[in-house]
Amino acid sequence: MNADEREALRLDDTDPLPTLREAFHVPPAPGGTYAESAYFAGNSLGLQPKSTARRVNEELEDWARLGVEGHTRGRRPWVDYHEHAREPLARLVGALPHEVVAMNSLTVNLHLMMASFYRPAGDRTRIVIEDTAFPSDSYAVQSQAVHHGLDPAHTVVRLRPRPGEENLRTDDILDHLEREGDRVALLLLGGVNYLNGQLMDMRAITKAGRAAGAAVGWDLAHAVGNVPLRLHDWDVDFAAWCSYKYLNSGPGAVAGCFVHERHVRDPEVPRLSGWWGTDPATRFRMAPDIAPPASADAWQLSNPPILALAPVLASLEIFDRVGMAALRAKSERLTAYLAARLAAVPGLRVVTPADPAARGCQLSIRVPDAAALAGRLATEAGVLADTREPDVVRLAPVPLYSTFHDCHRAGRALAAALDHRPGG
């Protein structure tokens, strides 16, 4: 054991927030050097909390024991099951409880939000996204333009970094809104960019977008559970997120949505409707006309999938117990340590902002043959990262379960793998 490894272990032993690694199932590492993998793919799929199986099994037991009566007599009756997620989600995203709802999947929720908040009229038709938006967001906004009879090639505006730069400057976004704002109907950006890990200045951008007369929405897939959020105070119109990355709720987990209270209290806001979007007090009267509640629940379509929502509740319990302030502080310490380890490896180019305030816990590096490199990290060192074609490896030291020693392992494994490349 060298001095660097001893220092990593010391940092783990003395950190103000001890790791919660024991609360999660960590994949085993191959080769026998370490029992567990150093898991840096939580920005793609978070690890399973050990409490998840209990949560799901309780619902299976109630189903077996009660059948249909589980809707009203279960330990957590299914008829209002999603209510258990409301206050924890509100705390997590900085919202009022009636502004959030757990429902559907991320892209479904984005479409539901755009059905309400993308209202092209006259010259104000543009949808502004970042050029490196996640493909599903690109597809969604393009299809919304087509749905309104517009040409997506002219309607969708993709903001690009300056030549030679990797990240969008906040000033450039604000400048675009000042110059072109009267043509922008919707501004929809990722709170944390999936590719380069940049954390957007959501408060400043939202303020500028709304001042320009645009609706402002955020895709928080890589932000929720990663960075502190204040959606209500920032005056965001809407936001949507998935729950299988930093929220550790399992593949395809039930997603979430935020709608600012000024909209949930406005009966004139158009929306697509379904049975679960009517007032629960009158829902089972089976009336032909909807009576939406003054909450984000008005955007619900169907009753919640209980077995898929149970893992979300298990994860939210952990976030409530630890708190985002403590997690963010630990995240900054871990990410800074990993950044220092990567800086010591020749041939790596980190494309994530160096400023801790401008990034979450993900660090993205550009290297040739990224997929092959990630494969070597996994098989030879038990370091699990993920890639995005053609040349990006993403490493996310998640503060709930990643350790300083994991970061040490990643730096050492990258150095070894690059050193053995032809010409390395």
The answer on whether 403 is annotated among ligand-binding residues is: no
The answer on whether 136 is annotated among ligand-binding residues is: yes
The answer on whether 222 is annotated among ligand-binding residues is: yes
100-102, strands of its sheet edge to edge: 100-102, 256-259, 238-241, 215-219, 184-190, 126-130, 156-159
The answer on whether 2 is annotated among ligand-binding residues is: no
The residue type of 138 is S
The answer on whether 13 is annotated among ligand-binding residues is: no
Q: How far apart are CA 319 and CA 325, in angstroms?
A: 10
Tokens of 8: 């990593």
Helix ranges (DSSP H) in 323-369? 324-343
- DSSP assigned state of 241: E
Q: How far apart are CA 214 and CA 330, in angstroms?
A: 36
Q: How far apart are CA 326 and CA 10, in angstroms?
A: 19
The answer on whether 78 is annotated among ligand-binding residues is: no
The answer on whether 299 is annotated among ligand-binding residues is: no
Residue with tokens 């500028």: 208
Nearest to 182 by CA among 115, 125, 119, 113: 125
Rg (CA), the chain: 22
The answer on whether 137 is annotated among ligand-binding residues is: yes
**Coil, strand, or helix at residue 391?**
coil
Query: How many contiguous H segments (helices) and E segments (strands) does the chain have?
Result: 14, 15
The answer on whether 107 is annotated among ligand-binding residues is: yes
The answer on whether 16 is annotated among ligand-binding residues is: no
Q: How far apart are CA 75 and CA 71, in angstroms?
A: 10
Cβ(255)–Cβ(240) below 8 Å: yes
The answer on whether 303 is annotated among ligand-binding residues is: yes
Q: Indicate the annotated binding residues.
A: 106-107, 134-137, 219, 222, 244, 275, 303
Which residues are known binding-site members for pyridoxal 5'-phosphate? 106-107, 134-137, 219, 222, 244, 275, 303
